[in-house]
Every structure is written in C-alpha cells, then in structure tokens.
C-alpha cells in the first residue's frame, strides 16, 4: 500500500523567498509521484510528476521537485515565491501509475507581501 506524509500543514513565506514544501512517501513498488495545487473552491491542477528517468522534474509556474529514493522524499521547491502561489498543495503517490492516486493531507502556502 502507498501513503504520503506532508510535513507542515501550513507554510508561510515572504514574497521573493524560497518555497519548500515537504513530502515523504511510502511504497512497496517503484512510485509515481505527483504534486497538485488547489485554489479555493476549485479542483486540483497538476504541477509536476515523476514517473521514471530524471529525478529532478520541472513543472509549471517555476516549481520543481526532486525524487530521492534513499530518503523516500519528493519535496517541492520554487526559488522565489509570488503572491499568486498562495494555495493548497498536495503530494500524491501511485504504484507505477496503475493504481489510484493516494494523496497527502496537504500544505497550505501563504505568501506575505
């Protein structure tokens, strides 16, 4: 079975500062990993995904994440936060892409001007 732990239910950063959202996963088979963003009263939008190959993946809106198997982590980063990045972020895992996604509880990102 797969599971995801997102450390920190709420992260607050200043505009222009580094964004780091933490995600650790558990999977008995090679995982496929995803980050989604959700704005209020909306569905989820895919930011980026790791399936196979290069462990550093780049996504939309300047976000990137690195798959570290030894640490079972897939942390999301962005060099410089923008006010429009304020939203809820969810990490998710699937067993080789063939099982339903399992989501973490989410991290709410606030950006302070």
Partner 1 sequence: DTGVSQDPRHKITKRGQNVTFRCDPISEHNRLYWYRQTLGQGPEFLTYFQNEAQLEKSRLLSDRFSAERPKGSFSTLEIQRTEQGDSAMYLCATHRAQGSYGYTFGSGTRLTVV
Nearest-angstrom CA–CA distance, 48 and 59: 4
- By C-beta, is 19 or 104 nearer to partner 1? 104
Q: Cβ closer to partner 1: 45 or 80?
A: 45
Residue from 1, 53, 70, 100 in contact with partner 1 (CB under 8 A): 100
Least distance to partner 1, CB of residue 62, Å = 18
Decide if 46 contacts 61 (C-beta within 8 A).
no
Query: Could you give the CA distance from residue 11 to residue 7 in angstroms, rounded to a whole number?
Result: 10
Q: Which residue has the tokens 């989410």?
A: 106
Distance CA 38, CA 47 (A): 10
Interface positions, 17-76, toward partner 1 (CB under 8 A): 32, 34, 36, 41-46, 49, 51
105 in contact with partner 1 (CB under 8 A) = yes
Our CB check for partner 1 shows the closer of 28 and 113 to be 28
In angstroms, what is the minimal distance from the CB of 90 to partner 1? 5
- The DSSP secondary-structure symbol of 15 reads T
> Is the distance from CB of 5 to CB of 93 less than 8 angstroms?
no
Site residues for partner 1 per CB under 8 A: 4, 9, 32, 34, 36, 41-46, 49, 51, 90, 92, 94, 97, 100-106
């Amino acid at each position: 079975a797969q599971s995801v732990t997102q450390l920190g239910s709420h992260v607050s950063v200043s505009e222009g500062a580094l964004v780091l959202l933490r995600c650790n996963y558990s999977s008995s088979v090679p995982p496929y990993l995803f980050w989604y963003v959700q704005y209020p009263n909306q569905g989820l939008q895919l930011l980026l995904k790791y399936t196979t190959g290069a462990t550093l993946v780049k996504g939309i809106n300047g976000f990137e994440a690195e798959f570290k198997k030894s640490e079972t982590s897939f942390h999301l980063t962005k060099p410089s936060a923008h006010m429009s990045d304020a939203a809820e972020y969810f990490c998710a895992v699937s067993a080789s892409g063939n099982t339903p996604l399992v989501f973490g509880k989410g991290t709410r990102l606030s950006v302070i001007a």
